Chain A
Amino acid sequence: MTRNKLAQRTEKFAGWLSATTLALAFLVGVAATSLLEARDNPPDRVPSNVAWTPETIAAASAGDAFRGLLLAKRCEHCHGAEGFSSVGYTPNLAGIDKLAIWKQLEDFRAHKRLSPVMGPIAESLSSRDVADVVAYYTKLPVFEDPQDNRVFPQNPPGANHAGIASHLVSFGDGERGIPPCQACHGPVAYRPGVPSLATQNADYVLNQLEAFANRSRANDINEPMRTVAALLSEDERHALAEYYGAGLGLQPGSSK
Chain B
Amino acid sequence: MNWRKLRTLLLTVLILCLIPATRYYQIDVPLLRLLRGSHRVDPLSLHLTGEFVENNLGTEQNPDGSVTVRMIAQQYLFIPNCILIPAGVPVHLRITSADAVHTLAFNGTNYSVKVLPGTISEAQLNFPHPGKYKTTCREFCGAGHYAMRSELKVVPQEQFPALHHEERGNCDAQ
Residues on A lying within 8 angstroms of B by beta carbon are: 42, 44-49, 51-53, 171-180, 182-184, 188-189, 191, 221-224, 227-228, 231
Shortest beta-carbon distance, B112 to chain A, in Å?
17
CB neighbors of A among B1-60 (8 A):
42, 44-49, 53-56
Roughly how many angstroms separate A182 CA and B143 CA in the complex, as a whole number?
9
- Asked if B77 and A227 sit within 8 Å, CB to CB, the answer is yes
Taking the nearest CB of chain B, how far is it from the CB of A159, in angstroms? 26
Interface residues of B (CB under 8 A from A): 42, 44-49, 53-56, 72, 74-81, 98-99, 142-144, 146-151, 165-166
In contact, A183 and B76 (Cβ under 8 angstroms): yes
**A167, chain B: closest CB distance, angstroms:** 12
Cα–Cα, bound, A227→B146 (Å):
17
Contact A44 to B44, CB < 8 A, known contacts A180-B143, A191-B75: no
A176 / chain B contacts, CB cutoff of 8 Å: 149
Classify the interface of chain A: helix, strand, loop or mixed.
loop
A47 touches B54 (CB 8 A): yes
Query: Could you list 9 further interchain pairs (A-B, Cβ under 8 angstroms) beyond the known A221-B98, A222-B74?
Result: A44-B53, A44-B54, A45-B54, A175-B149, A177-B81, A177-B151, A179-B147, A183-B76, A188-B143
Q: Please, could you name 26 A-B residue pairs with CB atoms under 8 Å apart, sorted by A? A: A44-B49, A44-B53, A44-B55, A45-B53, A46-B48, A46-B53, A47-B47, A47-B54, A49-B48, A51-B44, A171-B147, A174-B147, A177-B149, A179-B76, A179-B77, A180-B147, A182-B143, A183-B76, A183-B143, A184-B75, A188-B143, A189-B142, A191-B99, A222-B47, A224-B79, A227-B81
Q: Determine which residue in A172, A174, A177, A180 has the highest number of CB atoms from chain B within 10 A of its CB, and name it.
A: A177
Residues on B with C-beta less than 8 A from A53 are 44-45
Q: In the complex where A42-B165, A53-B44 touch, is A223 in contact with B148 (Cβ < 8 A)?
A: no
Q: Which B residues lie within 8 Å of A49 (CB)? A: 48
Minimal Cβ-Cβ distance residue in B for A49: B48
Residue in contact with A223 in the complex, picked from B45, B54, B76, B142, CB distance below 8 Å: B54
Given contacts A42-B55, A172-B147, A222-B98, contact A228 B142 (CB under 8 A): no
Contacts of B166 in A (CB 8 A): 42
User: What's the minimum C-beta distance from B70 to chain A, rounded to whole angstroms?
Assistant: 12
A177 to B78, CA, bound (A): 9
Which of A172, A177, A224 has a CB less than 8 Å from the CB of B74? Answer: A224
Residues of B within 8 A of A46 (CB): 47-48, 53-54
Interface centre among B47, B80, B166 (most CB of A within 10 A): B47
Minimum CB distance partner of A177 in chain B: B149
